[in-house]
Amino acid sequence: MKVTVTDTCPAPPEVVWEWIADPHKHVRMLPDEVRNGAVLENGDIACEVVAMGRAERMVVRTVETDPPWRLVERRVDGNREGMSVFELAREGEHATRVTLTSEVELPRLIATVAAGPVRNALASQLRNLATLVAEQ
């Protein structure tokens, strides 16, 4: 299943990048569906994803960066394949368009039901990011 959302943050890409690339800041922007976010010693992020009445532990690692334009995270816990890609684009002088694409390996029937909630969670994550950037 692949889901993409886009939102605008009220800061230049270099400022938005700090929130996406720094795992200690990144865990602060996670949506409510992602709980108990913690940064491990190696910089990976461990958390619990709650969806459709189930909770699943997950560990993600940054595997590719192109500062301040692109960051790729991959799920590395061995439970299921998953990847998130953050793409930043300057929007005017003081704003950044952020596109977040998440791909998760799910059975087809579950993916059909999960697409809407996943889209909502990703949109919530980008709203959290915009709020944190604005408060900085």
**How many Cβ atoms sit within 10 Å of the Cβ of residue 58?**
18
Distance between start and end Cα atoms, the chain: 34
Q: Which residues of the chain have pLDDT under 50?
A: none
Tokens of 128: 């959290």
Question: In DSSP terms, which residues pair with 96 in a beta bridge?
Answer: 9, 90
Domains and CATH numbers, the chain: 2-31+61-135 (3.30.530.20)
In this prediction, residue 88 carries a pLDDT of: 98
pLDDT score at 127: 97
Residue closest to 121 by CA, chosen among 95, 97, 134, 102: 102
Burial class (CB in 10 A: 0-12, 13-18, 19+), 81: exposed
Q: Please state, in angstroms and rounded to a whole number, the distance separating the CA atoms of residues 7 and 108.
A: 27
pLDDT for position 18:
97
Question: Does the bond joining 68 to the residue before it have cis omega, within 30 degrees of 0?
Answer: yes
